[in-house]
Structure 1
Amino acid sequence: MAVLVVGLLAALVAAGANAGAAMLEALATRRATRAAGVVTSPVYLAGLLLDIVGWVLTVLALRYMPIVAVQAIVAGQVVITVIASHWVFDTPLRRIDLAAAACNVLGLALLVGSASTGELPHIGIGGTIAVLAVLVVLAVGGITLALRSRRAVPTAFVAGLAFGGTAVAVRLIDLDTDGALGDIVRSAVTDPVVWALLGYAVLGLALYTVALARGSVGPVVAVLAVTETLAPGLLGLLLLGDGIREGWTPWFVLGLLLALGGVVVLARSPAQASLAGDDGVARPPLKRA
């Protein structure tokens, strides 16, 4: 139970950090007169720092909670961003947005209440090869889409799979943390799953950026959030030791539907579009994953 609390707190703070990063990056862009000024802005750099903090906390949460619960909580950053942007930037906030936010919170509560975790899996050479092979397939497919297609949604879908791959890789990394720091670093550098984790992250970031450049932020964020939650979450339940408390399966399904449904509605909110510059009023902030 204690480890679930640690994971829950880490995931919640990660969502808050990611939302704060989006707000700071948007604020820096609205103040800047040129792109170079954005990158060197202390406000934007603070946003990047929050991005890093959010990623580290997400990694921590994934070690203690089921993947589907962590991914859904972190995707809930959209809720925080939309509501906060209303107060900071006076962006529009509809009644349906408030209802979606309430559904998301209720859904996350049901997910956390129904979640259970088992032992972290120990994979052999076959599992490592599978992780690397999927990365290669996604890289080939994603790069092909980026070069040959102008459609944003398929690219966002592959980006979501790539980000989902990072969640799976985190769960599969097996480092001996009882040794000296040097031994831990050497173990990490020589672990192919760690390199796969970095590959998935870079691929996801690149494809997400391409998708945002080609389509509206709402559909792109919605597709990304659903994909990066469901795909690795299913793997976690089937193969990686995640589970659902006995008798809680209907509540788990309902929670997942409410949480993701709320994110999808809020991803298409005018507030989200305004924050990203899709409303034609503000310059779009530098995109982030």
Structure 2
Amino acid sequence: MLVLGLAAALVAAAANAGAAILEAMATRRATRAAGVVTSPLYLSGLLLDIFGWVLTVLALRYMPIVAVQAIVAGQVVITVIASHWVFDTPLRRIDLVAAGANVVGLALLVGSARTGELPEVGVGGTIALIVVLVLLAVGGIGIALRSRRAVPTAFIAGLAFGGTAVAVRLVDLDGPFEEVVRTVLTDPVAWSLVGYAALGLGLYTVALARGSVGPVVAVLAVTETLAPGLLGLLLLGDGIQPGGAPWFVLGLVLALGGVVVLARSPAQASLAGDDGVARPPLKRA
């Protein structure tokens, strides 16, 4: 099942990257704000986002949290390269080095990490999941309202997105379709999953509106990978292969280091419109 999880995570990263490109194209081509959300390009990107999220959920059932989150964060590699072809943004030599480092790091992570039996969720675990959600919501919304700084808001958004990964690991999605639907509708863990996702998306949107895309994406990627990944290793059955600790650490450093460098690439600024170009010409039709 590891192969299935790996394939799902890789396709999820590609889907999220494709969604970012399509949504950026829709934003650049629109002449008014209302036209963006009704654009076929934007709607296609939204569908890809949903598809990527579903695949991420699937991957989290079969792979260690830290590996899945790092792979999905690796979508930055795809967006930077794709932005070079679509928006004609510069592709720096350091971007190519960072992309290579990310790929090598992900390979080391996947090879050195392992996952065990999914843990049983007791009442205490459910309560803890909900309490953390409430604390993040109160703190994150408070910071978003009082501060104009983007990085603290992005940090809380990363923790919230990390909470979705933990909730996915804890919610029981096994069994017939009818039973899965019943679980989604009645299980507080499933409700918290929706709450974490909504909180993360809202705070991420606020952070992007208040700061440059590079630091926001970098903080988000590191936080949503390390926080749930650590919980997975300590409490949720994830582990490291015997003798694989050095490779695991090296893989994590290379994968996240590559993402941080690429998050500050000119391509990311182009996607977010931070490059001062309203509607750049397309290299491809």
TM-score scaled by structure 2? 0.96
Q: Deviations over 1:64-96 (max 9, x none)?
A: 000000000000000000001001110111000
Aligned to 1:235: 231
Aligned to 1:148: 146
Question: What's the RMSD between the two structures over aligned residues?
Answer: 1.1
Cα deviation for residue 187 of structure 1 reads 2.3
Aligned to 1:61: 59
Q: Contact conserved, 1:91 with 1:275, CA < 8 A, in 2?
A: no
1:78 and 2:100 aligned: no
Q: Deviations over 1:217-273 (max 9, x none)?
A: 000000000000000000000000001100010000000000000000000011111
Aligned to 2:248: 252
Q: How does 1:106-145 map to 2 (within 5 A)?
A: 106-145=104-143
Aligned to 2:34: 36
Aligned to 1:51: 49
Structure 1 stretches of 4+ with a deviation exceeding 2 A read: 181-184
Cα deviation for residue 106 of structure 1 reads 0.3
User: Distance between the aligned counterparts of 2:20 and 2:110, measured in 1?
Assistant: 25
1:264 and 2:254 aligned: no
Look up the equivalent residue of 1:38 and give its one-letter code.
V
Q: Contact conserved, 2:67 with 2:109, CA < 8 A, in 1?
A: yes
Match of 1:63, SS?
Answer: helix
Cα deviation for residue 115 of structure 1 reads 1.4
User: Distance between the aligned counterparts of 1:107 and 1:56, measured in 2?
Assistant: 24
Cα deviation for residue 176 of structure 1 reads 4.4
Structure 2 unmatched runs, 5+: 281-285
1:187 and 2:183 aligned: yes
Cα deviation for residue 275 of structure 1 reads 1.6
Q: Deviations over 1:169-193 (max 9, x none)?
A: 000002441x4x3333122211000
Q: Contact conserved, 2:154 with 2:204, CA < 8 A, in 1?
A: yes
User: Distance between the aligned counterparts of 1:188 and 1:155, measured in 2?
Assistant: 29
Look up the equivalent residue of 2:83 and give its one-letter code.
S
Aligned to 1:24: 22
Q: Contact conserved, 2:108 with 2:247, CA < 8 A, in 1?
A: yes
Structure 1 unmatched runs, 5+: 285-289
Q: Contact conserved, 1:24 with 1:46, CA < 8 A, in 2?
A: yes
Q: Which moved more, 1:121-130 or 1:183-192?
A: 183-192
Aligned to 2:218: 222
User: Distance between the aligned counterparts of 1:227 and 1:282, measured in 2?
Assistant: 31
Cα deviation for residue 142 of structure 1 reads 0.3
User: Distance between the aligned counterparts of 1:15 and 1:279, measured in 2?
Assistant: 24
User: Distance between the aligned counterparts of 2:121 and 2:129, measured in 1?
Assistant: 10
Match of 2:114, SS?
Answer: strand
Look up the equivalent residue of 1:101 and give its one-letter code.
A
Look up the equivalent residue of 2:138 and give its one-letter code.
V
Identical residues among aligned pairs (%): 84
User: Distance between the aligned counterparts of 2:27 and 2:271, measured in 1?
Assistant: 10
TM-score scaled by structure 1? 0.95
- 88, 91, 94: which one pairs with 1:93? 91
Look up the equivalent residue of 1:104 and give its one-letter code.
N
Q: Number of aligned pairs?
A: 280
Aligned to 1:204: 200
1:274 and 2:270 aligned: yes
Aligned to 2:283: none
